[in-house]
């Protein structure tokens, strides 16, 4: 076959250039191979080009002031300079001059296979190369969301015949990114240099690293890790080969640790084969790697590798305890402990070095070249003489992984039950594999975590894969350093994660069912953290938590209960922290069944003889009292999303919902007659009822006031509503209360103005905004204080049977503003969705809420509706059952 490698700059000193030249040389034994470099930047390439390979340049940039296309008469020199300064119309990494030379060269390139080595060249290749040319893109970078330039790759990879990546992790990422548009994606490693045959005796006390000294390599962290154990291995040295922008940072770290005579930075070398023969440990501290050539070469010399784990590269190159040691990502002390372990155990070094040597044979250049030959041949066979787009059109689409809980039965499962199941599974598994485990209880900011030593990680994952577990649970590999999260069935993903050394996994319910977020989609996760051990045996946290980054190995644990599971934790962690609410919280509902004929007759009778505002439909219209079964599902939302509520008080006009089991100890039915003055009854005024809710017998000091059309929309914590000191949250609306003296204003605005006047007279400050339609947190003591301080307007409101011009809105506005002015409340924010049932697009609004990305939902009703009542009732019935599918224990059958 005639094969051309298309590269930006073959003269550059980079790992990808070195790899493609090795690959080209190995293939040149059986094929006609050439390398085409868009630019020439040096008199000679940094890496030697074998004579069997034809090397061509398209553009000479050795003199930056005089860019010269190598095709004669393509462009005048003055135009070439101007084009060099203009942006490319093809790809971000090119110039307009690059466009010109590519447009001249690519359409007449007569080869069977063209291999592009950068996304910037992939686009012009699929556009300009002859249609019968096989286009293979070789991606040398580690693929993840944090890598720049991937939009170009994603946009044009579907038009390639093959995309080759370095690791299976990158392949799966790209398949998921492209979906049905994905071309053939293969995994092929970089080859070792031809003739590479050093062999270390592993008896020189030398740790070695090699590569560009740039931020991604994190070599300053390697120096720190060495510094942490240097005193324990006084004969050992650290040598770092390479050059780069972070050299000064590395030197500063050397100074900080006093390692002047222990750390060497000799600069770059082209004799790494001889250097690896001197090393006894290879150290890799990169944040991420594609497929680290330095580690490959070290392994080929029989040198074991110590490396940070990452989602790609080291994990697929280094097999823990067989070819080297992996430590948790970014765990400097873990890296230090691994270096110490290898430096002080010659038998372990030899065993891992022999394993590394055996594993490296798969990277022999001839072996990798044979795999490339099969890739090219298979691509030509798939083409079958067809053009590039025709071939892709006739290729079956790539199958996308389905990560969904569609087949899991979540009937009747609440987030509380899901957390219990996940924690029980994690604890039972941990208990069976090690005695050194404990639980860090979660709070409103973090999930509960089961902590194990990193040394128990593999055993834990093996046991987890073999354990029985509820079908609604899955395993999640969290997002890390730009890598997207992965989720899957527990057993297969646990086995897949066995190879790496990532420090966190999560057990949780499947978040979606039939493609939509389920009731278990949020707030149900239990994490499992694997902590590295320091050189002296302490456990080191892989990330920050509320308590400690280090746990001494001899700290005693205590028995505790979390999510209904008996666990072991530290005494400090068993007590509430200063960021948690440690007091009981109740909920109060006001509810009426406006369809009750007896109640409605009383309403009509009470209206007789009353003039003014009371006669408006905003004050006394029947739509204000219409029940749409909201209370049942609002109470379900408490059961699902706020299981910490102590008791629920339902305040009614002597009515009892026919579905409510009042014998349930959590339900307290309260009659208006138990709260309001006799001369204020019967009342049909929510403002009046609000004035007396703090008088409910047995009501907790801290409580939430719910209208029956308020719903919790996802798991919330007490800290959503109260501070640990007991202050209550105030959620403002964006709407203003406006100016006063508007006679035809609705009663709720008149009440807001009355509130404003009271507070201005008392404090000299004005109120401006309405309150959001969301649960109202309150304190009984503050409401008593308001009732005493503003006794006359409160008493008048309590005796107003319908909303009037003199009302105050005590719980839905006055108390919040009073609290802000007296230091008992604070301004808070929450995600709220207000669905106006009168709108013509209410079906769309209800559908959008099913994404479950809000804390609260309010179903605001009105007197006039765009939809027929029967249609609206059907929509609500379907929405209720979809959003709140779990029956609460206080619902009668």
Report the CATH number at residue 333. 3.40.50.2000
Q: Give yes or no: residues 826 and 765 share one domain.
A: yes
Q: 553, 574, 595 — which closes off a domain?
A: 574
Task: Count other Cβ atoms within 10 Å, centred on residue 8.
Answer: 21
Q: Give yes or no: residues 181 and 213 share one domain.
A: no
Q: Give yes or no: residues 232 and 337 share one domain.
A: yes
Which tokens hold the place of 707? 């209208």
Q: Give yes or no: residues 174 and 255 share one domain.
A: no
Q: Give yes or no: residues 158 and 220 share one domain.
A: no
Residue for token pair 């055996």: 358
Q: Give yes or no: residues 424 and 351 share one domain.
A: no
Q: Do β-strands 113-116 and 2-9 pair in parallel, antiparallel, or remain unpaired?
A: parallel
Alpha helices by DSSP H, 92-218: 96-105, 119-128, 150-156, 168-178
Dihedral of the alpha carbons of 566, 568, 570, 574, in degrees to the nearest 10: 0
Residue stretches of the chain with pLDDT short of 50: 146
Q: Does the residue 106 lie in any domain?
A: yes
Q: Is the dihedral of CA 534, 539, 542, 544 positive or negative?
A: negative
Specify the pTM.
0.84
| Cβ atoms 171, 157 nearer than 8 A | no
Which tokens hold the place of 579? 């960021």
**pLDDT at res. 289:** 81
Q: Does the residue 283 lie in any domain?
A: yes
Q: Does the residue 29 lie in any domain?
A: yes
| Cβ atoms 615, 731 nearer than 8 A | no
Q: Which of 247, 312, 246, 235 has its CA nearest to residue 281?
A: 235
Q: Which residues does residue 5 pair with via DSSP β-bridges, in sequence order?
A: 35, 115
Q: What is the CA radius of gyration of the chain?
A: 35
| Cβ atoms 370, 361 nearer than 8 A | no
CA distances 359 to 118, 278, 298, 348, Å, are 28, 20, 11, 16
CA distances 701 to 1, 290, 694, 696, Å, are 83, 58, 9, 11
Q: Does the residue 31 lie in any domain?
A: yes
Task: Count other Cβ atoms within 10 Å, centred on residue 338.
Answer: 29
Spatial distance between the Cα atoms of 735 and 748, rounded to a whole number of angstroms: 13
Q: Percentages helix, strand, coil for the chain, rounded to the nearest 5? A: 40, 20, 40
**pLDDT at res. 398:** 66
DSSP 802: S
Q: Does the residue 135 lie in any domain?
A: yes
Q: Does the residue 395 lie in any domain?
A: no
**pLDDT at res. 64:** 82
Q: Which of 12, 104, 5, 94 has its CA nearest to residue 58?
A: 104
Q: Is the dihedral of CA 709, 715, 718, 722 positive or negative?
A: negative
Q: Give yes or no: residues 176 and 301 share one domain.
A: no
State the maximum Cα–Cα separation within the chain, in Å, rounded to a whole number: 109
Exposure on the CB side of residue 681, measured as CA atoms within 13 A: 13
Spatial distance between the Cα atoms of 364 and 346, rounded to a whole number of angstroms: 27
Q: Does the residue 814 lie in any domain?
A: yes
Q: 574, 609, 644 — which closes off a domain?
A: 574
End-to-end CA distance of the chain: 75
Domain count, the chain: 4
Q: Give yes or no: residues 419 and 545 share one domain.
A: yes
Spatial distance between the Cα atoms of 314 and 359, rounded to a whole number of angstroms: 13
Q: Does the residue 600 lie in any domain?
A: no
Q: Give yes or no: residues 308 and 160 share one domain.
A: no
State the DSSP H helix or E strand holding residue 463, giving kind and residue range, or none if neither. helix 457-466
Residue for token pair 């579905």: 659
Angle between helix 293-300 and 15-27 (nearest 10): 60
**To 5 degrees, how large is the angle CA 800–CA 806–CA 807?**
60
Q: What is the CATH number of the domain that holds 700?
A: 3.90.550
Q: What count of residues does the chain have?
A: 893
> Helix or strand or coil: residue 121?
helix
Q: Which domain holds residue 763?
A: 620-738+748-883
Q: Work out the burial of residue 678: count CB atoms within 10 Å of its CB; fewer than 13 is exposed, 13-18 middle, 19 or more buried.
A: exposed
Q: Which of 187, 461, 464, 203 has its CA nearest to residue 317?
A: 187
Spatial distance between the Cα atoms of 317 and 299, rounded to a whole number of angstroms: 9
**pLDDT at res. 141:** 77
Q: Give yes or no: residues 159 and 297 share one domain.
A: no
Exposure on the CB side of residue 40, measured as CA atoms within 13 A: 18
Q: 187, 216, 248 — which closes off a domain?
A: 187
Report the number of secondary-structure helices (H) and strands (E) in the chain. Answer: 29, 37
**pLDDT at res. 790:** 97
**pLDDT at res. 55:** 96
Residue for token pair 């992790």: 169
Q: Give yes or no: residues 792 and 653 share one domain.
A: yes
Spatial distance between the Cα atoms of 803 and 272, rounded to a whole number of angstroms: 87
**To 5 degrees, how large is the angle CA 330–CA 331–CA 334?**
150
Q: Give yes or no: residues 626 and 550 share one domain.
A: no
């Amino acid at each position: 076959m005639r094969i051309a490698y298309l590269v930006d700059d073959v003269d550059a000193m980079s790992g990808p250039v070195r790899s493609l030249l090795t690959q080209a040389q190995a293939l040149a034994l059986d094929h006609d191979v050439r390398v085409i470099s868009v630019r020439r930047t040096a008199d000679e390439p940094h890496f030697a080009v074998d004579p069997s390979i034809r090397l061509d340049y398209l553009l000479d940039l050795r003199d930056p002031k005089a860019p010269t296309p190598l095709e004669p008469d393509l462009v005048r020199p003055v135009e070439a300079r101007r084009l060099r300064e203009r942006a490319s119309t093809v790809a971000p990494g090119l110039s307009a001059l690059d466009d010109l030379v590519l447009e001249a060269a690519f359409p007449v390139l007569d080869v069977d296979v063209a291999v592009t080595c950068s996304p910037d060249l992939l686009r012009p290749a699929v556009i300009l190369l002859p249609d019968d040319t096989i286009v293979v893109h070789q991606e040398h970078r580690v693929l993840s969301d944090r890598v720049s330039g991937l939009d170009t790759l994603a946009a044009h990879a579907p038009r390639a015949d093959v995309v080759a990546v370095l690791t299976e992790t990158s392949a799966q990422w790209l398949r998921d990114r492209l979906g049905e548009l994905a071309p053939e994606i293969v995994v092929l490693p970089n080859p070792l240099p031809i003739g590479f045959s050093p062999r270390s005796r592993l008896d020189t006390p030398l740790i070695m690293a090699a590569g560009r000294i740039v931020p991604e390599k994190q070599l300053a962290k390697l120096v720190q890790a060495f510094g942490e154990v240097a005193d324990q291995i006084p004969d050992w040295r650290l040598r770092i080969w390479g050059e780069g922008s972070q050299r000064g940072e590395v030197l500063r770290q050397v100074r900080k640790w006093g390692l002047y005579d222990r750390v060497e930075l000799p600069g770059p070398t082209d004799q790494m084969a001889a250097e690896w023969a001197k090393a006894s440990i290879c150290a890799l501290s990169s944040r991420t790697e594609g497929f680290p050539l330095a580690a490959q070469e070290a392994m080929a010399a029989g040198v074991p590798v110590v490396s940070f784990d990452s989602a790609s590269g080291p994990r697929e190159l280094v097999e823990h305890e067989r070819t080297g040691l992996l430590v948790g990502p970014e765990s400097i002390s873990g890296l230090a402990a691994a270096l110490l372990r290898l430096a002080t155990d010659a038998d372990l070094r030899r065993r891992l070095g022999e394993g590394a040597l055996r594993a490296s044979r798969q990277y022999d250049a001839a072996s990798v070249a044979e795999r490339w030959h099969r890739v090219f041949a298979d691509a030509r066979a798939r083409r079958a003489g067809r053009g590039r787009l025709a071939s892709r059109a006739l290729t079956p689409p790539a199958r996308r992984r389905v990560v969904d809980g569609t087949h899991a039965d979540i009937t009747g499962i609440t987030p509380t039950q899901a957390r219990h199941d996940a924690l029980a599974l994690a604890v039972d598994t941990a208990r069976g594999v090690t005695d050194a485990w404990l639980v860090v209880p979660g709070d409103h900011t973090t999930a509960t975590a089961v902590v194990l030593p990193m040394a128990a990680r593999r055993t834990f994952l093996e046991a987890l894969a073999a354990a029985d577990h509820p079908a609604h649970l899955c395993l999640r590999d969290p997002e890390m350093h730009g890598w997207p999260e992965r989720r899957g069935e527990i057993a297969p993903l646990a086995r897949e994660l066995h190879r790496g050394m990532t420090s966190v996994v999560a057990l949780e319910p499947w978040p979606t069912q039939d493609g939509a977020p389920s009731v278990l989609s949020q707030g149900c996760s239990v994490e499992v953290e694997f902590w590295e051990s320091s050189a002296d045996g302490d456990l080191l946290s892989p990330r920050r938590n509320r308590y400690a980054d280090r746990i001494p190995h001899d700290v005693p644990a205590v028995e505790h209960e979390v999510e209904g599971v008996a666990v072991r934790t530290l005494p400090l962690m068993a007590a509430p922290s200063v960021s948690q609410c440690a007091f009981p919280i109740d909920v109060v509902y006001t509810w009426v069944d406006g369809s009750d004929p007896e109640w409605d007759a009383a309403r009509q009778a009470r209206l007789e003889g009353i003039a003014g505002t009371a006669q408006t439909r905003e004050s006394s219209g029947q739509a204000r009292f219409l029940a749409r079964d909201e209370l049942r599902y609002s109470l379900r939302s408490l059961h699902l999303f706020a299981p910490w509520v102590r008791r629920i008080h339902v305040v009614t006009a002597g009515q009892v919902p026919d579905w409510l089991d009042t014998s349930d100890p959590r339900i307290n039915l309260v009659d208006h007659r138990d709260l309001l003055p006799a001369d204020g009854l019967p009342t049909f005024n929510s403002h009046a009822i609000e004035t007396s809710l703090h008088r409910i017998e047995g009501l907790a000091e801290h409580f939430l006031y719910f209208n029956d059309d308020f719903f919790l929309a996802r798991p919330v914590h007490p800290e959503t509503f109260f501070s640990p000191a007991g202050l209550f949250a105030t959620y403002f609306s964006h709407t203003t209360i406006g100016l006063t003296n508007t006679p035809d204003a609705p009663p709720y605005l008149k009440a807001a103005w009355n509130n404003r006047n009271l507070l201005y007279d008392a404090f000299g400050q004005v109120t401006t905004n309405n309150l959001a339609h969301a649960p109202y947190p309150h304190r009984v003591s503050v409401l008593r204080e308001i009732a005493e301080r503003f006794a006359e307007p409160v008493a008048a409101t309590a005796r107003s049977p319908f909303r009037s011009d003199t009302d105050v809105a005590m719980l839905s506005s006055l108390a919040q503003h009073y609290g802000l002015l007296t230091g008992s409340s604070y301004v808070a924010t929450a995600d709220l969705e207000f669905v106006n049932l009168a709108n013509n697009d209410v079906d769309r609004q209800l559908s959008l809420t099913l994404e479950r990305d809000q804390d609260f939902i309010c179903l605001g009703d009105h007197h006039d509706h765009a939809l027929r009542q029967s249609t609206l009732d059907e929509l609500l019935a379907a929405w209720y059952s979809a959003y709140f599918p779990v029956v609460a224990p206080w619902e009668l059958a």
